[in-house]
Structure 1
Amino acid sequence: MVSRIGILTGGGDCPGLNAAIRAIVRRADLGNVSTYGFRAGWRGVLQGSVEQLTISSTRGLLHRGGTMLGTSRVDPYREERGPERIREALEVYRLDGLVVIGGEGTLAASHRLAEDEGLPILGVPKTIDNDVGGTDLTIGFLTAVRTATEAVDRLHSTAESHDRVMVLEVMGRHAGWIATYAGMAGGADAILVPEVPFDIDAVGRHLKHRAGMGRDFSIVVVAEGALPKEGTLELEAPPLDEFGRPKLGGIGHTIAHEIEQRTGFPARVTILGHVQRGGSPTPMDRVLATQMGVKAAEFAMDGAWGTMTAYRDNGVVPIPLAEATAHLKTVPADLFAVAETFFG
């Protein structure tokens, strides 16, 4: 019988994390299960930084962005005796299992710990990139789309006033969900995503065509991980971070420069960056986080370790962590084809 569970939030922050924590604590309390929060993601588990969570301590969290527990990008498999120390932490604090709220990297580590080490772990997907497999939505995505769409709306007015091309760079390392959704919702004139290599000459021709039709301004939304078609544009190799991944950001400047060179139109760049991660979650993200939090507590109490909460058909179901982490969920071709309808 489950009586004590731990919670952590790992990876990048996003709106809705606090709502999920609140929901887990509330539902667990109804089942007479105590909850304990680890500070700063996996680092807190490794260092024993933990606090008991109660209904009182999690009041007022629903609308707050960020995470009350803090987060980090610590990977337990990169730490000395990482998996062993996590097992020890569960034993020391007499926890029956651990609910891990995270994105692709955090959930991948969770899957390894559950599969290879036999640790009782249950995942909850959160990432503004919406690229976790097996779930229609991830916590934080819809709020990031709202932020990016508002930026597109605001850029429209200044672009039209000055007859300029406005390039908006949004997050999206391997998947262009934010760019696609915000571009469609905001009426962008071109959307560049990692899934579909772009031809910068074709983009320039399209913007010239718009000008010839009397539309002397344009909006281009580009995901940070967008790549050109082979042989069409040379990009400098980005530096690597401490995990060996390319440090992305800045492709918007390259796109704007190339557009100016090919069209003669003045172009300006806005990079949203971490603005997309912050702020109060939208009502839909609050509801999604609450649904996932409640179900995570219920699945944990049922002993459904090794699974992840997945949003499907307006409900939350458990799916194997193996399925959730098998591949990145990218923008499907048919959805991007809908967006392309408005590029002509």
Structure 2
Amino acid sequence: MRIGVLTGGGDVPGLNPCIKMLVARANEEGFEVVGIRRGWAGLLEYNLDDPDTHPRCILPLDKFNTRTVDRTGGTFLHTSRTNPGKVSLGRVPDFLKPTITPDQEGPFDFTPHVLKVIEKLGIDILIPIGGDDTLSYGERMHQEGVACVAIPKTMDNDIFGTDYCIGFSTAVTRSVEFIHQLRTSAGSHERIAIVELFGRNSGETSLLASYLAGVDRALISEVPFDPVRVAEKVMADKRGNPSNYAMITVSEGAHMVGGTPVEFGEADAYGHKKLGGIGHILGEALKKLTGEDVLNQQVSYLMRSGAPDSLDLMVAVNFANVAINVIRGGERNRLVALRNGTYTSVPMSTLTQGLKRVDVAELYDKDNYRPKVRHVEGKPMFLY
């Protein structure tokens, strides 16, 4: 049995420990593991006729070269937002360009090439570790006849079918820490402080961080906000604080009523542009509406940098254990998951059966722009 493992999309703390445990358990079972570098790009850019490209794309994994990787964050296999089924003209590898005609503009589907590479490498099962985008191509692979067992990771915790994704706890922990640290500057200067956090479609990271850190207002991706109302609320918060400051968190995917999320740059292979800047836009609006100085801080990549906290470390290694047990048991096309506090697996097709978003009615006061958590009985540990 030869297993291929890859990490795609944004990096999160916990990926390296997950890979290390996958290799350790696989070796115990007599399985061989090969690391696919830079996500799906490792398979797309593997030139069957040029051995010089192979080390850049593929790395055999064993207990020696994974021995210490769990001590750091990120992914030592590297990652990318590559979708071999939708490759733009500018990202087509040189050796594949002769296969397209000059009048074609793309995007191009190089899945047939990927399948040849998988066959050449002798990979029996793929373990993609990623979010919705990365795992959606894993589902495509299964449809093409490649066995897959997927592991969910995203600090937004928005993969449908699992209560938890690798990286989420550390992102919330980091956010709470930075919010509290920023209080010293906000209080010293008697300012309104805005903390912009990651969160494209789901505001769960922002919601939980604001709930745990006790911020005054939290703007999330799911609920458009009125800057005039926000100004009124936050000024009341500032006046009511003996230190004369107020704190706001905002998800990068949040937007004003009648507006759209702040996007920029070229769309990636999954159709997503970069997000970021809504905190500055909100800050300028609040300056005009209130006349107050605003302190604006984008936490962004610091949320996903560094080593995992103990919860992400535990979930990462346990997800790896579940994945190997699923393979050992002969099951395929499964998504490793945590459901109702229990480790399990579900069909990969579950990914596309719904959307995982903040339960606004239950957890958010949309009139006052703040968490409203009253009943936690029966809910998962991290709510949602």
Q: TM-score range by the shorter chain?
A: over 0.9
1:248 — aligned with what?
275
Q: How many residues align?
A: 337
Partners of 2:191 and 2:124 in 1: how far apart?
A: 58
CA contact (8 A) 1:132 1:325 kept: no
TM-score, normalised to structure 1, is: 0.92
SS at match of 2:332: coil
Indicate the larger mover: 256-265 or 323-332.
Answer: 323-332
Partners of 1:325 and 1:286 in 2: how far apart?
A: 27
What whole-Å deviation, never above 9, does each CA across 1:5-51 have from its counterpart, x for those lacking one?
11011111111000110111111111111111111111112215212
What whole-Å deviation, never above 9, does each CA across 1:77-109 have from its counterpart, x for those lacking one?
024552222222222122211100011110111
CA contact (8 A) 2:336 2:344 kept: yes
Indicate the larger mover: 251-260 or 317-326.
Answer: 317-326
Q: Confirm or deny that 1:192 pairs with 2:219.
A: yes
Q: Report the CA distance between 1:267 and its aligned residue.
A: 0.5
Amino acid at match of 1:241: A
Give the fraction of aligned pairs with identical amino acids, expressed as a percent: 32
1:51-200 counterparts in 2 under 5 A? 51-79=59-87, 80=108, 82-115=110-143, 117-200=144-227
Of the three residues 229, 232, 244, the one matched with 1:202 is: 229
SS at match of 2:253: coil
CA contact (8 A) 1:107 1:325 kept: no
1:223 — aligned with what?
251
Q: Report the CA distance between 1:58 and its aligned residue.
A: 1.0
Name the CA shift for 1:103/1:33 in 2 (closer, same or farther; >3 Å).
same
TM-score, normalised to structure 2, is: 0.83
Q: Which runs of 5+ in 1 are unaligned?
A: none
CA contact (8 A) 1:171 1:223 kept: yes
CA contact (8 A) 1:63 1:286 kept: no
2:364 — aligned with what?
336
Q: Report the CA distance between 1:337 and its aligned residue.
A: 4.2
What whole-Å deviation, never above 9, does each CA across 1:298-329 have from its counterpart, x for those lacking one?
21232322111011233321111111233331
What whole-Å deviation, never above 9, does each CA across 1:267-310 have from its counterpart, x for those lacking one?
11101121122101001000000010111112123232211101
2:351 — aligned with what?
324
Higher relative contact order (CA 8 A, sep 6+): 1
Partners of 2:217 and 2:303 in 1: how far apart?
A: 20
Partners of 1:88 and 1:239 in 2: how far apart?
A: 33
SS at match of 1:29: helix
SS at match of 2:364: helix
CA contact (8 A) 1:75 1:109 kept: yes
Partners of 2:354 and 2:317 in 1: how far apart?
A: 26
Amino acid at match of 1:150: E
